[in-house]
């Protein structure tokens, strides 16, 4: 299945400046593994030490949040688009 993964501006520097990357995968987890095989610096940015996606990383399949479906097991089909979108948050709470 040919899947297009779209990266936010902040992460393209870790993927040879590419905005869109095509991978062959049957589900979200496979697609991300393919992505990381091509661009291992991205893995460091997106995956925490416990092997799970970092808390600020959102993954959408087309318009749908993968967490609302089957997470990394969410199936994808030919022509689907996976969006990686950071949750942008922070604030003055618990200042250093």
Partner 1 sequence: MSLTLNRAVEAIAAQTCEKAFPEEGCGLLIGPIPDDFDKPGRALKVDEARPLPNGWDASAKTNKYLIDPKTLAKVEAELSGSGRGVVGFFHSHPTVPAWPSPFDLTMAMPCCSYWILQVKDGKVVDSRSWQRTEDGRSFVEEEIILEG
Separation of alpha carbons 87 and 56, rounded Å: 5
Stretch that binds partner 1, among 6-14, 27-35, 66-74 (CB under 8 A): 6-14
Going from the C-alpha of 83 to that of each of 8, 24, 26, 50, the distances in angstroms are: 8, 15, 16, 22
Tokens 């949040």 belong to residue: 65
Asked if 12 interacts with partner 1 (CB under 8 A), we say yes
Binding-site member from 1, 58, 69, 75 for partner 1 (CB under 8 A): 58
Whichever of 20 and 37 has its CB closer to partner 1, that residue is 20
Q: What is the CA radius of gyration of the chain?
A: 14
Residue 25 phi, psi (nearest 5): -155, 160
Binding-site member from 23, 27, 29, 60 for partner 1 (CB under 8 A): 60
Give the interface with partner 1 as residue ranges (CB under 8 A). 6, 8-14, 17, 19, 45, 55-56, 58, 60, 83, 85-96
């Amino acid at each position: 299945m040919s899947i297009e993964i779209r990266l936010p501006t902040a992460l393209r520097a870790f993927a040879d400046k590419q905005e869109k990357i095509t991978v062959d995968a049957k589900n979200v987890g496979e697609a991300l593994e393919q992505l990381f095989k091509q661009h291992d610096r991205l893995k460091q940015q997106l995956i925490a030490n416990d092997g799970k996606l970092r808390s600020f990383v959102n993954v959408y399949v087309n318009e749908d949040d993968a967490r609302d479906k089957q997470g990394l097991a969410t199936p994808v089909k030919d022509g689907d688009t996976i969006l990686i979108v950071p949750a942008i948050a922070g604030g003055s709470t618990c200042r250093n």
